[in-house]
């Protein structure tokens, strides 16, 4: 036993050396990952010009590798963000990639984003959406709200809510969850989108006072 304990420091040193000697990450991977993260954050913060710049750079870097599946993933990320801010998804870019090199996982996510939940394969979907998919297929708003609020990742939560809105499975609570999530993260774009949706909801349910309050809130945020 003592022998092993005395060998421990050597083991640590060996580990550190192994860590240092590990192969450096290829620049395009490092760059593309960073640029995509910047794109997401800036897009959600309504800094459209900056976001567009980072998106362009991401594509530039990923295209260096020639990995079509990865390029498709970048396109899908863009669509997912659009879904999170309740905007329509333009799909031509992704479909071009899918024709050349189809990928089950990407295709599955694309179908999920479009809201065709009945043909989505839960196994191929990113794990965090599993319970949500189940609830959404059940079609009960309360369960959907429950599943959505349990998604840890804020962006994934907003994406799920976006799909809920598209499928008309939402109620006041769903939109409130989205507003709170966007607000907590300081993401102005989804915040305004969901506030707008909430206002429409109150108008439809004839709750004029609440609708007016939301309108004022939107005005205050925009100014």
Partner 1 sequence: MLNKNAFKVGLFVVITTFLVVMTIGFMVYKKGVFEKVYTYTLSSKSGENLTLGMPVVFSGFTIGKVDVLELNEEGVVLITIKVPKRHIKWIRSNSVFSLDKPLIGAPKITVITENLNSPPLSPEAIVEIGTANDINEIIKRVNPILEMVNRIAANIETISVNLANPRGDVNKILRNAEKLTSNLSGKPSLLDMAVDDRESINALYSAMKSTKVITSQIEDTLKKVDAMAVKTDEKVYGREGSLSLVNNILKDLIIKLQNLDATLANVNTISKDAADSTKDFKLLREEIDGTIYSIKELVKKVDDLVPFKKEPDIKLP
- Is 68 a binding residue for partner 1 by CB under 8 A? The answer is no
Task: Choose which of 55, 94, 109, 170 interacts with partner 1 (CB under 8 A).
Answer: 109
Residue at token pair 């020639």? 66
Report in angstroms how near the CB of residue 206 gets to partner 1 at its nearest.
36
- Is 66 a binding residue for partner 1 by CB under 8 A? The answer is no
Near partner 1 by CB under 8 A, which window of 2-10, 105-113, 114-122, 132-140? 105-113
- DSSP of 74-135: HHHHHHHHHHHTTPPPP-HHHHHHHHHS--HHHHHHHHHHHT-GGG--TTTS-GGGHHHHHH
- Is 28 a binding residue for partner 1 by CB under 8 A? The answer is no
> Cα(74)–Cα(63) distance, rounded to whole angstroms?
10
Per residue in 58-68, is it b (16+ CB within 10 Å) or e — as a string? bbebbeeeeeb
> Cα(95)–Cα(77) distance, rounded to whole angstroms?
14
Near partner 1 by CB under 8 A, which window of 23-31, 133-141, 143-151, 170-178? 23-31
Nearer to partner 1, 53 or 172 (CB): 53
Closest by CA position to 140, among listed 114, 113, 171, 166: 171
Near partner 1 by CB under 8 A, which window of 48-56, 70-78, 179-187, 195-203? 70-78
> Cα(28)–Cα(115) distance, rounded to whole angstroms?
33
Report in angstroms how near the CB of residue 177 gets to partner 1 at its nearest.
18
> Cα(8)–Cα(92) distance, rounded to whole angstroms?
57
- Is 70 a binding residue for partner 1 by CB under 8 A? The answer is yes
Binding mask 165-194 for partner 1 (x = CB under 8 A): ------------------------------
Residues that bind partner 1 (CB under 8 A): 16, 19-20, 22, 24-25, 27, 29-30, 32-34, 36, 40, 62, 70, 73-74, 76-77, 80-81, 105-106, 109, 126, 153, 155-156, 159
């Amino acid at each position: 036993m003592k022998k092993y304990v005395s060998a421990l420091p050597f083991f640590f040193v060996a580990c550190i050396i192994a860590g240092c000697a590990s192969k450096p990450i290829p620049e395009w991977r490092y760059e593309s990952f960073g640029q995509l993260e910047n794109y997401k954050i800036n897009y959600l913060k309504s800094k459209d010009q900056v976001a567009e710049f980072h998106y362009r750079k991401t594509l530039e870097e990923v295209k260096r590798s020639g990995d079509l599946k990865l390029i498709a993933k970048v396109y899908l990320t863009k669509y997912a963000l659009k879904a999170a801010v309740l905007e329509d998804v333009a799909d031509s870019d992704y479909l071009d990639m899918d024709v050349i090199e189809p990928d089950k996982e990407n295709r599955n996510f694309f179908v999920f984003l479009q809201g065709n939940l009945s043909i989505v394969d839960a196994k191929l979907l990113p794990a965090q959406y599993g319970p949500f998919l189940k609830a959404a297929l059940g079609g009960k708003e309360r369960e959907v709200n429950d599943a959505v609020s349990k998604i840890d990742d804020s962006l994934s939560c907003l994406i799920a809510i976006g799909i809920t809105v598209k499928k008309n499975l939402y109620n006041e609570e769903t939109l409130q969850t989205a507003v709170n999530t966007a607000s907590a993260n300081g993401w102005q774009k989804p915040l305004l989108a969901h506030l707008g949706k909430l206002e429409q909801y109150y108008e439809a349910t004839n709750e004029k006072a609440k609708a007016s309050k939301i309108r004022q809130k939107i005005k205050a945020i925009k100014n």
